[in-house]
A and B are shown apart, each in its own frame.
Chain A
Amino acid sequence: MPRIVVCFKWVIDEAYIRTGASQELDLENVDYKLSDYDRNAIEEAVRLKEEYGGSLVGITVGVPEATKGIKDALSRGPEKAYFINDASFDNLEPSQTATILADVVSSQIEYDLIICGEGSSDLYAQQVGPRLAEKLGIPCISYVQKLGIENGEIIAERKMEEGVEVVAAPMPALVTVVPDINSPRVPGLKDTLMASKKPVISITKDQLSQTYEPCLQTAGILAASMERNCVKFGGELEGIAGFVESLLKEGVIS
C-alpha cells in the first residue's frame, strides 16, 4: 500500500493584486490561497489512497503565518502535515524550496510516491517537482493527466505536445499533475472541523541539515503591461459596423 506525500504551497491570490503608480505591484490588501494546481495534486493523492489504501501526508515550506494554508490542505484529505517554516521563507526560489523539501523528506518521511502540482499559481516556474525528484534520486514523471499503480509500479499518462505518452516507473517516484487529471472536491464544514484536529509537525530552519542560498536574484517585479486600445462598441448594428470597420483598418480581416 503506497505511502503518499503531497506537496503544496500557500500563495498570493493573484486576483487581489492591484497595480500601483509606475507599474509596481500593490500587494497591500492581497489575500492568500492554496495554489490552484496543488488542489489537483491533493485530490489525486486522496483518490489514490481511496483506491489503493496506504497513507497520505502533506508537506509545505513557508512563513510561520501560513497556518491557514495548512488547515486548508488538511481539510482536503491528508492525515497530517509537515510544515517547514521560517520568517525568511517568503519569496523562496524553486531551487531553495526543492532542496528544503528534499532535506526533510529524505530524513524524516518514508514514502513510495510524491505528488506535486505541475507548477505554482504564483511563480509557475514548474521546477520544484523535478528538482525535488533529482535531489532524492528518484524517477520523475511530469505533466501527468492519469495516474495508477500496477504491480508496485507507477503507470502514468503524460500530456505532451504531440499526444499522450504512457510511462511506467518503479516506486519510490515523483509525479507532477496537470489540472485536467481531476476536479478537486470542495471541503465541507465537517472536513474543515476535522482538519483542525489533525497533527501538524512544525520544522524550523535550525532543524534543517544546512542553509540553502538562492541562485537567482530578482532585479524587479512590475505589472505586465498590456497596452491595448480598449475601444468598446455597443451591441446594436451601428456598433457592430464600427467594430468591423476597425478590424478592416487594422488589416486583420479583408
Chain B
Amino acid sequence: MAGVWVLAENHRQTLELLNIGRVLASKLGTRLAAFLLHDREMAQEYIEYGADDILLLPSLPEDQSLDAYIPVIAEEAQKQEPDIFLVAATLRGKEIAARIASRLNTGLCSECISLTLDESGKNLEMERLMFGGAAAQKVTCRTRPQMATVPPRTFEPAVKQSGREGQIKELPVPPASALRVLEKKARAHEASDIREARVVVCAGRGIEKQEDMALVRELAEAVGGEIACTRPISEELHWLPENLCIGLSGINVKPDLYIGVGVSGQIQHVTGIRDAKVICAINNDENAPIFEAADYGIVGDLYEVVPKLIKELKGEK
C-alpha cells in the first residue's frame, strides 16, 4: 500500500497538485502518480514537474463526460492501493472524487485548504471550512486511500526539473457511461476571469437600482479593477451573470484589493474573499458584519461616498 495520486481536469491544476503531491510523496518515501487525460504528449512534461508515474486515461467519445472514467480509476486504485489520492476541486472533480471515494469505501475531505502529515508522518491532517466559512474543521482519515479535493490555486504550480524520468501506464478504455453529453455552451459573454483579477469591486444588495451599477463600474475603473457581485445581485436581480457571483457555491477570489460596495458581509460571501490581501467595505450600517472582515471601511451612504471616493482617487493619480 503506497503512492500519492493526483487527478485534475486541466493542466494548471495538475501542476498545483503535483507540487503538494511531490512534498507528501518525498516525506512518505513513496512514488507520485498523476492522471493524464488522453494527451500522451504531456506525459514527459508531468514527469519533469514531479510525477514518477503517469496513469494515462484513454480519450473518450465526444458525448462522454469525465464521470465515465470512474470505474477505471476506482479499479486501478483497488489494485495499486495508493495511500493518498488528491483531486482538484473543480465541479466535475468534486463529483467524481465523491463517487470514487464511495466505490472505495473511504473518507474524503472536501475542498481541503491545508494538507500536512501528522507527527507519526503517516497520516494526513486536512483542514476545511464549514458552517458557510465560519469555522475550520481539521480531519484525519482512518481508511485508505486518504482522499481530498483541493480547490484550484490552493498551491503554486510545481517547478519543472528537466531530466527526471518516470513510467507511463495506459489505463483501459472505460465502458460507456449512462450519462450522455448533448451539448456544451460556452459562457455567453466571456468576462475576463475575476479569479485572476488584481482588484475586485463587488456590488451588494445596498445598490438600489440596476442603473446604479454604473456607479460601481465607475469605481472599478477608477481603481483599475473588475466588477463582481453578491448572490442576490446575480440570482434574484440578474444584474450581473452568475459567474461574477462571489462566495459559497459561487467563485472564490484572491485579489490584492477587494472593495465591497453595499455588501452586508454574510459569511457565505466573506468565505469567497478570505484570501484577498486587503479587504475594504463601504456600507451605511456601521454594524454590518462586513466591517469585521474588512481592513478598511467607510461608514456612510454609498450614494454619497462612492462619487466622493472616485473623485479622490482620480485626484491622486
Q: Which residues of A line the B interface, CB within 8 A?
A: 12, 14-15, 17, 25, 37, 93-95, 98, 118-119, 121-127, 129-131, 133-135, 139-143, 155, 158-170, 173, 178-180, 183, 214-226, 228-237, 239-241, 243-244, 246-248, 250, 252-254
Contacts and interface: CB of A to CB of B under 8 A. Distances in A.
> What bracket does the count of chain B residues touching chain A fall in?
35 or more
Contact of A130 (B99, B133, B236, B300): B99
Interface of B: 65, 67, 70, 90-92, 94-96, 98-99, 101-103, 105-111, 125, 128-143, 177-187, 199, 223-224, 231, 234-236, 242, 248-249, 256-257, 267, 270, 274, 277-280, 284, 286, 291-301, 304-305, 308-309, 312-313, 316-317
A247 B316 CA distance: 12
Q: Interface SS of chain B: helix, strand, loop or mixed?
A: mixed
A179 B249 contact: yes
Nearest to A131: B102
Given A162-B187, A231-B297, A244 B309 contact: yes
Contact of A95 (B65, B101, B111, B286): B101
Contact of B296 (A95, A127, A133, A247): A247
A219 B187 contact: no
A234 B298 contact: yes
A160 B96 CA distance: 14
A156 to B, nearest CB: 9
B293 A237 contact: no
Contacts of B140: 216-217, 219
A11 to B, nearest CB: 9
Given A17-B134, A228-B293, 13 more contacts: A124-B130, A124-B132, A131-B98, A131-B99, A134-B102, A166-B182, A168-B179, A180-B235, A222-B135, A233-B297, A235-B301, A250-B257, A252-B278
Given A167-B181, A240-B308, A95 B107 contact: yes
B70 to A, nearest CB: 8
Nearest to B259: A247
Contacts of A230: 291-292, 294-295, 297
